[in-house]
Chain A
Amino acid sequence: MKKLSHLDQLEAEAIYIIREVAAECENPVMLYSIGKDSSVMLHLAMKAFYPEKPPFPFMHINTTWKFKEMIDFRDRKAKELGIEMIEHSNQEGIDQGINPFDHGASYTDIMKTQALKQGLDKYGFDAAFGGGRRDEEKSRAKERVFSFRNKNHAWDPKNQKPEMWKLYNTKINKGESMRVFPLSNWTEKDIWQYIRQEEIDIVPLYFAKERPIVERDGNIVMVDDDRLKLEPGEEIQYKKVRFRTLGCYPLTGGVESEADTLDDIIEETLGAVSSERTSRVIDQEAAGSMERRKREGYF
């Protein structure tokens, strides 16, 4: 037998984790954010149970500010693969007109964190897979694969349960839940190389293409619809840009790039001088902001 490659090992680890959850948890769900990490996670779930379909549903928390191309991609994928895709939005937030331009940090809390908690509570999910990776951010680097949340979905980073070998402890008390991160040990580079190896379909926004953008506070923001109001002095330009992460379009910074194939993207990623979260506008806050949000129930 040939020795397993680095990617084979990561794949085996993720599949093991996904199967453990399916076997031991009562009502799991896989969070699907439509991004590249979610695409990899969905692909792994399909492989883990083949020829069976994944024995759990998928859930997308829609802030209603996602790129249009993302929503089209999500619907096409769910249909193609024959999986159950639940969509949840915070209706109260929508009714109050909460938006990323006027409400800043509270937008993230209301439309993401609160919406996620609502979605999980509504269906009574006891375990939710997320595509988080430890190389993304410092507080994630400290998080267990099986990460516990109390009744209020809060994380207690100072008191995490020990996690030994592959002996995951999935026991929880009533009302508590778990977040499970099968991609914990993957790096951004691993993700891209796996996407290439497995020919995984991803949202076209990852590839460089001429797109309508404005430059705002040093970030490149795409004009995805007419809800983005131009500020004085701003004008729509057409530039060849791509996105390293995908989220709400007003909060997702693009980069100017010529990388329109996977090989180009991988080359760009390998030579990258900044880690990927800098392209997420919300993360450029004080150190520790991610941990604070996670304690409040953010994924």
Chain B
Amino acid sequence: MKGLLKFITCGSVDDGKSTLIGHMLYDAKLLFADQEKALELDSKVGSRGGEIDYSLLLDGLMAEREQGITIDVAYRYFTTDNRSFIVADTPGHEEYTRNMAVGASFADLAVILVDATKGVISQTKRHARICALMGIKHIVLAVNKMDLVGYDQKRFEEIKHDFQQMTYGFNLESIQVIPVSATEGDNITKKSDHTLWYDGKALLPYLEDIEVIDDAAQQEFVMPVQRVSRPNHTFRGFQGQIEAGKIKEGDEIISLPSQERAKVKSILVTDYEVSEAGAGQPVTVQLDREVDVSRGCVLTTSENVQVTDMFSASILWMDDAELVEGRNYLVKVGTKMLPGTVMSIKHKIDINTGKEVLADKIFKNELVECDISLSENMVFDTFENNEALGGLILIDRVTNMTSACGVIEHALRRSTNVVWQETDISREVRAQQKGQKPLTLWFTGLSGSGKSTLANEVEKRLVATGHHTMLLDGDNVRHGLNKNLGFKEQDRVENIRRIAEVGKLMNDAGLVAITSFISPYESDRQNAREIIGDSYVEIFVSTPLEVCEQRDVKGLYKKARLGEIPNFTGISSPYEQPENPEIEIDTSEYSLEEATDYVVKEIMKFLD
């Protein structure tokens, strides 16, 4: 009996994916009698006439049945005499591409369907590219609806040629092209008399026989640490799954990123002790000495595993919100999760031609190459070497959406080359000399909300009470430090990032930095909070839009309303309200003096 085969079916909508699987299960007598009965019943009730509609076996959600389409990936489990299978049937609509990618990340092999009457279309290409991105090495192209082209060999060869040309250069180990009819059952479980010119196997026998070899066992030992187990003072075990290679008692391993070395003292596979364990096993490893290991670290014997804080990646963008340069996300690789910034979008990939296209914004379902910079070091390997340490997801920090998935191509710098220069005089020393606690007072609010006026008054009061301050005003900074930035979203993101870094430097110098910027996006303010750390105090000037527009000190609202200023916050660009500001003040309700009194009183709580 061959090992488990996980495969997906994909391809464009109406190419017959669900029908293919349904027919395969039905023909191979792999359905329970009640499912078969329900299927016949559903088909009669359904609007597609009295014939058995095999796709109803898989389209399990009510919305799917109503609309007659597949929305999300469905998993089916079946076993023939020769092999156990898990098949993920994936949606064909472009709208649901991310759900197709979910299936692809899970599979060893993809059955891509094309409609023989339509040939290789852009959705076929999109799916083939995503399969390759997600690490699928074996592809079956099922040329479906052969009955509708009279089982014409010439048509079949044309499609085969197109597909092979398109996938040229993909990193695949096998491609098999099979002529089928999912509704008629040709070449599904047994070879069809209609295609005597085809000399390969029918689909199911092909799937039963194919070898998908995972070479993880032959590689060097790699184990990302999931958690540290310390039930008592004598036991300290590192728990995780061995992703590659094997390990024996007494072997010397390296712990990354600390690069400390230690020997293996004991190994548990689940709850029993062993002297040796290998790829795929869940283990608890004890080492012979104290080393710095926590969740997200990697134990390995390999010299190839790298440590970096900046890498280049190929990703599939899956979020409804677009990707812009400079945005900050949570990056998860292996068992490590860190804040990271998409520093630059290098290009996107044209789905049809595979060509690189320049872009500064990326929309849902686009494939893109970009550089990602992390807040600290992360252990990784290229996806090609090790899927577990080379695959990544990006998580939106506000919505928590899984915004992108992708693979690490290569490190952009070895972290060892760039070391933080430690200076002798510390931040604490500089602060102490000035007799104050450094803070960054981050004023945020709409244009005309009174941020700058208030910030100015606050600075005067702080100076009067002997504090050392520095005010960074939005408009003023744009005249110098940020003069190369405009008002597009990615420029605004970069604007705020630079201000945050300057705020941090001011704090390092022992100063109280006061910043006054609209800073409309929650994710950017979160990023600023992260850069600046404990010194960050967010002051939300919550004056309502109507009041700001009425004041219109600089006449900007009027121009924005006339469409003369694009991307104007509050009018044609959103302002995301802070969720948990340290201080909030609505200047429409108080006089300037009252407002200043209040804000200064609140700031003092952080200063002392």
Contacts and interface: CB of A to CB of B under 8 A. Distances in A.
B233 to A, nearest CB: 13
Interface string A96-116: 000000000000000000000
Contacts of A47: 270-271
A139 interface: yes
A195 to B, nearest CB: 16
B276 A167 contact: no
Interface stretch (A12-20, A121-129, A219-227, A257-265): A12-20
Interface in A272-286: 272-275, 278
Given A52-B231, A139-B60, A291-B61, A167 B332 contact: yes
A88 interface: no
B268 interface: yes
Contact of B393 (A22, A169, A291): A169
Contact of B402 (A4, A51, A162, A287): A162
B65 A288 contact: yes
B502 to A, nearest CB: 30
B70 to A, nearest CB: 9
Contact of B77 (A134, A157, A166): A134
A178 to B, nearest CB: 11
Nearest to A172: B400
Contacts of A196: none
A187 interface: yes
B75 A1 contact: no
A144 B335 CA distance: 19
Contacts of B111: none
B330 interface: yes
Contacts of B310: none
B246 A275 contact: no
Interface in A30-81: 46-53
Nearest to B86: A185
B271 A11 contact: no
Interface string B17-41: 0000000000000001111001000
A296 interface: no
A227 to B, nearest CB: 30
Interface string B270-288: 1100001011111010000
B33 A274 contact: yes
A12 B281 contact: yes
Interface in A129-165: 134-135, 137-139, 141-142, 144, 157-158, 160-165
Interface in B70-94: 71-77, 79, 84, 86
Nearest to B62: A288
A50 B60 CA distance: 38
Given A11-B270, A141-B75, A287-B38, A169 B402 contact: yes
Contact of A173 (B32, B60, B217, B400): B400
Contacts of B318: 162
A3 B215 CA distance: 11
Given A52-B231, A169-B400, A1 B63 contact: no
A237 interface: no
B60 A138 contact: yes
Contacts of A135: 76-77
Nearest to B224: A166
Contact of B60 (A4, A23, A141, A292): A141
A216 interface: no
Nearest to A270: B79
A167 B4 contact: no
Interface stretch (B97-105, B121-129, B190-198, B412-420): B97-105
A8 interface: yes
Contacts of A50: 268, 270-271, 284
Interface in A176-232: 184-185, 187, 189
B3 interface: yes
B392 interface: yes
B278 A171 contact: no
Given A12-B281, A157-B61, A20 B86 contact: no
Contacts of B203: none
Interface of A: 1, 3-4, 6, 8-9, 11-12, 15-16, 19-20, 22-23, 46-53, 134-135, 137-139, 141-142, 144, 157-158, 160-167, 169, 171-173, 184-185, 187, 189, 272-275, 278, 287-288, 291-292
15 contacts: A6-B84, A12-B280, A23-B335, A47-B271, A50-B270, A52-B229, A157-B61, A157-B72, A158-B61, A162-B98, A172-B400, A273-B34, A274-B34, A287-B38, A287-B65
